[in-house]
Amino acid sequence: MKKTLEVLFVVSLVLFLLAGSLLVIGQVLGLLLQNGELILKSQELLAKPTFAISAVAGVIAYLLNQKKKQKVSEGASEANVISS
């Protein structure tokens, strides 16, 4: 399960960074070319998918962090049992 989450996290991270970069590049090009339509189309096409993918990456990161904390607390419980 952990390995699957790690792979999904990396994939979602790469996808949202790529989509976010394309969004910003489209907006910068629109500014440089003084083309308001390009700025609006960049946002219409890329904003929602980018934000959704970044939310997925955030949730996966949270799950991975909780799994790590769970493993640490299990180790601490075992240490307490051994020292008792």
Per-residue CA distances from 13 to 20, 31, 67, 79, 80 (Å): 10, 27, 19, 36, 38
pLDDT at position 69, please? 75
Residues 20-79 pLDDT 10s: 999 999 999 999 999 999 999 999 999 999 999 999 999 999 999 998 777 766 666 555
pLDDT at position 65, please? 92
Q: Is residue 18 very low, low, confident or very high in pLDDT (cuts 50, 70, 90)?
A: very high
Could you tell me the two tokens for 41?
């189309």
- Choose among 21, 12, 25: nearest CA to 56: 12
Against a cut of 0.85, is the pTM above it?
A: no
Q: Which residue blocks in 1-84 are alpha helix, DSSP H?
A: 2-32, 36-83
Amino acid at residue number 33: L
